Amino acid sequence: MSEFKIPVSVLVVIYTTDLEVLLIERADRPGFWQSVTGSQDSLDEPLSATAAREVLEETGIDANAYTLSDWQLSNIYEIYPVWRHRYAPGVTQNTEHVFGLCVPRNIPVQLAPREHLRYQWLPYREAADCCFSASNAEAILQLPAMLAFAHQ
């Protein structure tokens, strides 16, 4: 594995059938709420495997026990300067691929203490308002459309 992060990541919106969304608070930035995110470990790691791995690492939820959906959405964004040291010199942009994971509301959540402090379930609009990342908020706001599309 390289010493630098790969600038390809996943964003996994974990939600219930009632459109409640799981948000987790970053340990390195208290007050920053987000969905599960994480970078590929290697260029040959499938994005769905990255998504399942990150969900397990960050929440203790086994995504393979539920339906992990590739929403076929991606965002290219500027990496926050505070985190650029994690990437190779000159890398300033990341491509984020969006997934959704529907789980039961009462599912146990086990946070990775070095990564996250707390979690909360919120109605999707409130969850979007809490996200510090615009791409995360936009993905959450897509939830009703993604569910409608999946049930066509």
CA distance to 5, 6, 41, 84, 113, per residue, from 1 (Å):
9, 10, 7, 18, 23
Is residue 2, in this structure, part of any structural domain at all? no
Is residue 19, in this structure, part of any structural domain at all? yes
Task: Give me the pLDDT at residue 36, please.
Answer: 98
pLDDT tens per residue, range 38-55: 999 999 999 999 999 999
**Domain with 58 in it: what CATH number?**
3.90.79.10
Residue that wins the pLDDT comparison between 82 and 35: 35
What's the domain range around 135? 8-150
Is residue 92, in this structure, part of any structural domain at all? yes
Q: Is the pLDDT of residue 5 over 70?
A: yes
Domain count, the chain: 1
Is residue 3, in this structure, part of any structural domain at all? no
16-28 average pLDDT score: 95
Is residue 1, in this structure, part of any structural domain at all? no
